[in-house]
């Protein structure tokens, strides 16, 4: 049965729209400027979805609530530059596996999700520029060692094989990787099985630039020199471990930044 939705009183059409699926709401908001204003004025039980399209990138951010189907799979997304996903409620394994298997992300992936403690995931190939994951307990050793990202940040991670990660980089010709940051509370004897060096201020600087705001003091770090001349450093500090590569050995611009 059809009826003129916009002729209803505001409280009535709000009740109707609150039962729409997200994809239908998006379509409705595009019908006219009035429809757009109506959708913006209603407080839906999800925080929102932000889609940014510029000359240089396509960005999609999902602020999730399981009371609405606000997931990449719902929109049929298969490719984007940046994908940020947050949720305070459990997300189904099917939705997350869709992101891993179907969505090609080129620049930045952030995952801050509530997952069931028994969630498991087989091999995933992460190859975007920047990767940030909170509670990556489900990441297998194979997935971790195969990460082909420029910057990697893991929080509340399990006991992942950081020694093997460093060893693999040393035996590779990877010139893309810049740094890895992860939580770690067990001291590693890097002199065992590796050819290491102490900091020499004539070879590299003291501070490594993490981002536009922060730097890492590497004076107490352990250095590794790869066969092709690339220098890397491991720093263990405050229950965290950093593995950084000095593509630029002296970074005076980092001296003015905040120390991590």
Tens digit of pLDDT for each residue in 72-111? 777 777 888 888 887 777 777 888 888 899 989 999 999 9
Buried/exposed code over 247-258 (b: 16+ C-beta within 10 A; e: otherwise): eeeebeebeebe
Strand order in the sheet with 258-259: 207-209, 214-217, 258-259
Question: Which residues in the chain come in under a pLDDT of 70?
Answer: 1-3, 21-23, 43-71
CA distance 58 to 215: 28
Q: Which residues pair with 133 in a beta bridge?
A: 111, 154
Pair (113, 24) in one structural domain:
no
The answer to whether 139 and 115 are in contact (CB under 8 A) is: no
Predicted local confidence at residue 1, as pLDDT: 55
CA distance 253 to 212: 10
Domain of residue 194, residue span: 162-260
Predicted local confidence at residue 95, as pLDDT: 83
Predicted local confidence at residue 114, as pLDDT: 80
pTM of the model: 0.78
Pair (173, 238) in one structural domain:
yes
Pair (29, 105) in one structural domain:
no
Predicted local confidence at residue 193, as pLDDT: 93
| DSSP characters over 122-159 | ------SSEEEEES-TT--HHHHHT---SEEEEES---
Predicted local confidence at residue 117, as pLDDT: 80
Predicted local confidence at residue 53, as pLDDT: 45
Tens digit of pLDDT for each residue in 30-47? 778 888 787 777 765 544
Pair (25, 97) in one structural domain:
no
Considering 12, 27, 44, which residue would you say is the last residue of a domain? 44
Classify 28 as helix, strand or coil. helix
């Amino acid at each position: 049965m059809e009826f003129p939705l916009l002729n209803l009183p505001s409280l009535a059409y709000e009740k109707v729209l609150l039962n729409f699926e997200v994809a239908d709401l998006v379509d409705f908001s595009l019908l006219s400027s009035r429809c757009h204003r109506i959708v913006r004025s209603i407080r839906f039980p999800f925080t929102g979805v932000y889609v940014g399209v510029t000359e240089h990138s396509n960005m999609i951010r999902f602020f999730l609530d399981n009371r609405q189907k606000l997931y990449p799979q719902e929109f049929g997304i298969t490719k984007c530059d940046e994908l940020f996903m947050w949720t305070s409620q459990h997300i189904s394994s099917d939705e997350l596996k869709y992101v891993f298997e179907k969505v090609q992300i080129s620049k930045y992936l952030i995952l801050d999700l509530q997952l069931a403690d028994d969630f498991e995931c087989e091999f995933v190939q992460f190859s975007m520029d920047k990767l940030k994951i909170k509670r990556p307990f489900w990441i297998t050793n194979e997935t971790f060692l195969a990460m082909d990202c420029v910057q990697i940040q893991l929080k509340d991670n399990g006991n992942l094989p950081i020694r093997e990660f460093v060893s693999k980089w040393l035996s590779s010709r990877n010139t893309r990787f810049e740094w890895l940051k992860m939580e770690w509370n067990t001291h590693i004897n890097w002199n065992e099985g590796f050819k290491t060096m102490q900091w020499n201020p004539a070879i590299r600087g003291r501070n490594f630039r993490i981002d536009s705001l922060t730097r890492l003091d590497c004076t107490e770090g352990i250095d590794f020199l790869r066969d092709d001349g690339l220098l890397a450093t491991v720093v263990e500090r405050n229950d965290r471990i950093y593995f950084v590569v000095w593509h630029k050995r002296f970074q005076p611009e980092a001296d003015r930044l905040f120390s991590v």
